[in-house]
Amino acid sequence: MVKRLQTDVLVIGAGVIGSAVAMGLGLKGVDRVTVIDLDLAGEWSSSELNAGGVRATWSQKVNILTSKLSIEYFASIAELIGYRDCGYLWLHRKNSWEQALKGRELHIAHGWPVDVLDVQAIKKKIPFIDKTDDLVGAIFGVKDGLVNPNRLKEHYREEAQTRGVQFVDRMWVTASNAGSLSSKSSKITIKAFQFSDQISSEHKRVLLTQNPETLGDEAGTWIEIETKQVVNAAGAWAPHLAKILGYQSPSTPVRRQISLFHARDLDLTPYGMIVDPSGVYFHPESVYGLSGFCTPGEPAGFDFRYDGEGFFESHIWPALYERATAFESLRHVSGWSGLYENSPDHHAIVGRSHHSSIYEAHSFSGHGVMHSYAVGITLAELMVNSKYETLDLTELSPDRFISGKTIASETWVI
């Protein structure tokens, strides 16, 4: 038996982005908004597996402004979402220093406070950084910091639910008629399977990494959802969902690993995010240090394996060892991997798709948490009033990959 569900707006994907868009639509007073996800808890979602860093220190204006608007909001609800303005310290060698200072000028010009530190000042600010021979200086994003991404996502959901938005769990979208409709058609039908019982962690992983053709009809119910508007907020799965919705999206899922380590005689809690010139970044995480690195040549794909001690010992520890005596003896505690959703220019894809009723908010290329608020409220503006009001994100339109109106790539990526 096929069940039917009718809604005005269907948001597919309830990560930090889908939840923020839901809040934006709720704030705009949009009725009948439904958000669906295979897993509302988001066990394998990037919103669950990220590093929680938020910064407006970017090379491109649109990213500076998107983060700035979001972080100002985070600061207004700091306690609720665990926002701390503990800063981002970017350590630089000679080869990247000029670019760093140029970038800083742009940050200041857009109202984002960023300090310049020489080596003495670095040592004073972060006394445990004592191996500095290769450094020329650092820039420090004063209001950059850390949030608890889960609490942020829950906050967006609560704000949305208060305004009548429905969140539906265990629903996996498999097909739609969107590809065969005219680009102005105002009714789209989405086919989804809703599992009756809790889905095991392994089953969710198989669905999300292998997208099997059969789902075992006895395990749930097929649903046909009729909607006037759709939002593709499927994170790293957005290109797959795009195909279901009848278009192509150029981004790719790529694994990123994170290690937790214990530094016996060092308390990291007073510090914020530190980005080493090697590309290794770290910050305090409860009583541990959290550190991540983009392994060169990582192939695209849905890979959630964590390489464990091997990853820590070949990529994280050597870089930390070279930075501080206190890091010479570190203990690997644990770690995990999640998916970046990389677009070709490392900018998010946000806006109306080729179809006037389908909107996109995905491919954040590793910066979705820190952009979530701005994207949530401005995409809602575009959907309701056909124009951006609070912040113009036209540059991020999916159209740029079709029209050839490319934008400069974002280069401050880690």
Binding segment toward ligand FAD, per CB under 6 A, in 31-39, 82-90, 136-144, 395-403: 31-39
Is 235 near ligand FAD (CB under 6 A)? yes
Residue 231 backbone dihedrals phi, psi, to 5 degrees: -115, 125
For the bound state, the minimum distance from the C-beta of residue 136 to ligand FAD, rounded and expressed in Å, comes to 25
Nearest to 65 by CA among 414, 400, 341, 390: 390
Between 74 and 326, whose beta carbon lies closer to ligand FAD?
Answer: 74
Separation of alpha carbons 85 and 394, rounded Å = 29
For the bound state, the minimum distance from the C-beta of residue 44 to ligand FAD, rounded and expressed in Å, comes to 7
Interacting residue with ligand FAD among 351, 368, 376, 398 (CB under 6 A): 368
Determine if residue 164 is left, alpha or beta; phi over 0 gives left, psi from -120 to 50 gives alpha, anything else beta.
Answer: left
Is 375 near ligand FAD (CB under 6 A)? no
Is 251 near ligand FAD (CB under 6 A)? no
Binding to ligand FAD, residues 6-25 (CB under 6 A): 12-18
For the bound state, the minimum distance from the C-beta of residue 380 to ligand FAD, rounded and expressed in Å, comes to 15
Separation of alpha carbons 347 and 60, rounded Å = 9
Interacting residue with ligand FAD among 10, 25, 34, 45 (CB under 6 A): 45
Residue 163 backbone dihedrals phi, psi, to 5 degrees: -100, 20
Structure tokens belonging to residue 217: 């009809």
Interacting residue with ligand FAD among 65, 236, 374, 375 (CB under 6 A): 236
Between 326 and 350, whose beta carbon lies closer to ligand FAD?
Answer: 350
Task: Compute the residue count for the chain.
Answer: 414
Binding to ligand FAD, residues 53-72 (CB under 6 A): 53
Q: State whether residue 234 is helix, strand or coil.
A: coil
For the bound state, the minimum distance from the C-beta of residue 277 to ligand FAD, rounded and expressed in Å, comes to 18
Determine if residue 297 is left, alpha or beta; phi over 0 gives left, psi from -120 to 50 gives alpha, anything else beta.
Answer: left
Is 188 near ligand FAD (CB under 6 A)? no
Separation of alpha carbons 81 and 185, rounded Å = 40
Interacting residue with ligand FAD among 11, 37, 88, 170 (CB under 6 A): 37
Between 204 and 323, whose beta carbon lies closer to ligand FAD?
Answer: 204
Binding segment toward ligand FAD, per CB under 6 A, in 33-41, 84-92, 259-267, 383-391: 33-41
Between 132 and 148, whose beta carbon lies closer to ligand FAD?
Answer: 148
Nearest to 28 by CA among 384, 293, 364: 384
The dihedral built from the CA positions of residue 277, 363, 380 and 52, taken in this order, carries a sign that is negative
For the bound state, the minimum distance from the C-beta of residue 133 to ligand FAD, rounded and expressed in Å, comes to 29
Separation of alpha carbons 20 and 385, rounded Å = 18
Inter-residue contact 31 to 318 (CB < 8 Å): no
The contacts of residue 187 (CB under 8 Å, 6+ apart) are 226, 227, 228
One-character DSSP codes across 153-169? HHHHHHHHHHTT-EEE-
For the bound state, the minimum distance from the C-beta of residue 110 to ligand FAD, rounded and expressed in Å, comes to 18
Binding to ligand FAD, residues 80-139 (CB under 6 A): none
Interacting residue with ligand FAD among 9, 51, 65, 160 (CB under 6 A): 51
Structure tokens belonging to residue 216: 């075992």
Between 362 and 400, whose beta carbon lies closer to ligand FAD?
Answer: 362
Total residues at interface with ligand FAD (CB under 6 A): 42
Structure tokens belonging to residue 147: 């949030």
Between 296 and 404, whose beta carbon lies closer to ligand FAD?
Answer: 296
Inter-residue contact 88 to 283 (CB < 8 Å): no
From first CA to last CA, the distance across the chain in angstroms is 48
Between 29 and 216, whose beta carbon lies closer to ligand FAD?
Answer: 216
Inter-residue contact 110 to 58 (CB < 8 Å): no
Interacting residue with ligand FAD among 30, 38, 379, 393 (CB under 6 A): 38
Q: List interacting residues with ligand FAD (CB under 6 A).
A: 12-18, 36-39, 42, 45-47, 49-53, 171-173, 233-237, 241, 256, 258, 292, 338-340, 362, 364, 366-370
